[in-house]
Amino acid sequence: MPDTHVITSFLGLQSHRVVRWKRHHKSWIELWLEYDGDTYRCPECGKSFRRYYDRPWVRLRDLDISRHRVYVWVSRYRVRCPQCGVRRVESRIARHHARCTRRFERWLFTLTKSMPVKDVSELARIDWRTVKDAEIRYIVGLLRKRDLNGITDLGIDEVSEKKGHRYLTLVTDTVKRRVIWVGRGRDRAVLKKFFKWFGKKWTRRIRCVVIDMHDPYELEIRKRCPRAALIYDHFHVIKPLSMAIDDIRRRLQSELPPAGRRYLKGSRYLLLRNRENLTAKQHIRLQDLLRLPANETLNAAYILKEDLRVIFRRQAPKQARAELRDWKHRVRESKIPELLKYVQMLDRRRFGILNFFKHRKTNGLSEGFNNVVKTIKKSAYGFHDWQYFRLKILRNCGKLEHGSIDRD
């Protein structure tokens, strides 16, 4: 049988040594560990003592050895400090009140990155609550060490939490490409909570904010940081135009006799998809559809849609503004009701649109994070614990540094 020195070396313990061990029924092992130092530090004031006050023993779950579960018995030392009273000494083996070692928690934390809590608990042969608590402790520790200095550009977007119009608001740092805050809802009150958490000092340093033309977001942003450039994401600017094209298609289809409606049947996808993404066969069918005399209005609307997409790709702000002005004039000359309504919307939102041409900022990053959030929710079959769900989002989208804490 190996002696305690061999086991200590094998386990890689730096602050403790094995003084005794025992195997039970070929399924689990118990180890008794002794602190390998001669001083005990008060966690409050940092003063060191040669003697401890007491040391109650506790049993902790540790990493498995082969197929054997491992439990370690360690002493939780306490010191009597003249200034602070009786205090528990910080241990490199385990956290206060924890029922497993730090390295076992790190292993659980690593597994929960790509596995549901239930699967991790079955693999580790422990209760799922222990897995969840370990992950929460690690994420909270990483958030405390997060560096939020220098944030100047924000992206704000919502993602569906549940069916029934329940949403989450994600605030992203578009420079470092990370989520920095998650709130429940998508009204002004949610952003008010964000700016309160962010603080006035950092709010004054915000240079630009990208949103999706959601009015409650815009009102709160203009109130909190009036000097920041408010930018509308170009995808959400063009999206209403696509909806207007579809409205035109439905209107024309309803005006045609039953025999003529078949020409527009199944054309929605062709009209709304970007021209460069169409296959050769789809492109030919679209051309044949738009050449029909009955579809003259639809053809004009489709050309205007594609021309606006070209304008939003212009890199020169002055050229883009001039072409947008000419484009709106062409829409007014076309007298198509659905497009005239869309131009009115552009006029109301002109400052946010013109800021896009100047800064070239989009919310594409936030949209990508939305897909990550949906994947997190799907992998866990939904979350009943809102705070845990929020922490999972920050872990997967917040670029938290895994190796920054608890390296013992």
Instruction: Answer whether residue 141 is part of any domain.
Output: no
Domain stop point among 99, 133, 166: 99
Q: Residues 306-315: what's their mean pLDDT?
A: 92
Residues 311 and 194 in one domain: no
Rounded to whole angstroms, the Cα distance separating 348 from 340 reads 13
Instruction: Answer whether residue 262 is part of any domain.
Output: yes
Rounded to whole angstroms, the Cα distance separating 294 from 190 reads 49
Instruction: Answer whether residue 132 is part of any domain.
Output: no
Q: Residues 374-399: what's their mean pLDDT?
A: 82
Q: Give me the pLDDT at residue 284, please.
A: 85
With CA atoms as reference, report the closest residue to 206 among 171, 164, 239, 252: 171
CB-hemisphere CA count at 13 Å for 323? 16
Residues 257 and 398 in one domain: no
Does residue 287 or residue 391 have the better pLDDT? 391
Domain stop point among 62, 81, 99: 99
CATH of the domain at 168: 3.30.420.10
Residues 238 and 323 in one domain: yes
Residues 253 and 284 in one domain: yes
Residues 306 and 325 in one domain: yes
Residues 260 and 332 in one domain: yes
Which of 228-237, 251-260, 313-322 has the lowest average pLDDT? 251-260
Instruction: Answer whether residue 112 is part of any domain.
Output: no
Tens of pLDDT, residue by residue over 85-103, are 888 887 777 787 788 888 8
Instruction: Answer whether residue 223 is part of any domain.
Output: yes
Instruction: Answer whether residue 408 is part of any domain.
Output: no
Rounded to whole angstroms, the Cα distance separating 101 from 94 reads 5
- Record the pTM: 0.81
Whether the CB-CB separation of 102 and 61 falls below 8 Å is answered with: no
Whether the CB-CB separation of 263 and 299 falls below 8 Å is answered with: no
When pLDDT is cut at 50, 70 and 90, the band that residue 375 belongs to is: confident
Does residue 358 or residue 381 have the better pLDDT? 358
Q: Tokens 């947008």 appear where? A: 324
Instruction: Provide, rounded to the nearest whole percent, the portion of the chain with pLDDT above 90.
Output: 38
When pLDDT is cut at 50, 70 and 90, the band that residue 404 belongs to is: very low
Q: Residues 400-406: what's their mean pLDDT?
A: 56
Domain tally for the chain? Answer: 3
With CA atoms as reference, report the closest residue to 309 among 214, 367, 235: 235
Q: What does pLDDT average to over the chain?
A: 85
**From residue 379, how far is each of 116, 117, 239, 287, 386 by CA, in Å?**
6, 10, 30, 43, 15
The domain in which residue 5 lies consists of: 1-99
Question: In this model, does residue 406 exceed pLDDT 60?
Answer: no
Instruction: Answer whether residue 214 is part of any domain.
Output: yes
Question: In this model, does residue 403 exceed pLDDT 50?
Answer: no
Whether the CB-CB separation of 94 and 74 falls below 8 Å is answered with: yes
Residues 244 and 229 in one domain: no
Residues paired with residue 31 on neighbouring β-strands, in sequence order = 21, 72
Domain stop point among 99, 118, 145: 99
Tens of pLDDT, residue by residue over 189-215, are 999 999 999 999 999 999 999 999 899
Give the best-scoring range by mean pLDDT among 262-271, 290-299, 301-310. 301-310
Q: Residues 218-239: what's their mean pLDDT?
A: 93
Residues 301 and 266 in one domain: yes
When pLDDT is cut at 50, 70 and 90, the band that residue 64 belongs to is: confident
Non-local CB neighbours of 175 within 8 Å, separated by 6+ positions: 150, 151, 152, 153
Residues 223 and 339 in one domain: no
Residues 226 and 161 in one domain: yes
Question: Within a 10 A sphere around the Cβ of 36, how many other Cβ atoms?
Answer: 11
Q: Give me the pLDDT at residue 259, please.
A: 65
Residues 250 and 334 in one domain: yes
Does residue 59 or residue 367 have the better pLDDT? 59
Residues 331 and 383 in one domain: no
